């Protein structure tokens, strides 16, 4: 039980590190956050940004990575 908890902590640490790297380099990734389908409304005293397409793209990428990890874990 303790070894599985240790593995989970290592995995969480890797995920947090990966998210940190993505946040550091996200401005250098072209078009991320400015894809067609992302909603951006700018008014005089108001700004609204809803990254729908970017969220879907990131969700698909994370799902594929987790699917590959689960396939490798079964072997």
Phi, psi dihedral angles at 69 (to 5 degrees): -60, -40
CA 46 from chain centre, in angstroms, equals: 27
Query: Which residues partner with 50 through β-bridges?
Result: 39
Per-residue pLDDT tens over the stretch 46-62: 999 999 998 998 899 88
Q: For the whole model, what pTM was predicted?
A: 0.61
Q: Which of 41, 66, 63 is nearest to 52 (CA)?
A: 41
- pLDDT of 67 above 70: yes
Residue 49, classed as helix, strand or coil, is strand
């Amino acid at each position: 039980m303790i070894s599985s908890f240790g593995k989970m902590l290592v995995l969480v640490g890797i995920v947090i590190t990966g998210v940190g790297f993505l946040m550091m380099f996200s401005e250098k990734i072209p078009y991320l956050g400015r894809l067609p389908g992302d909603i951006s409304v700018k008014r005089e005293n108001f700004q609204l940004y809803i990254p729908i397409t970017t969220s879907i793209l990131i969700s698909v990428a994370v799902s594929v990575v987790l699917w590959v990890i689960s396939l490798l874990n079964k072997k």
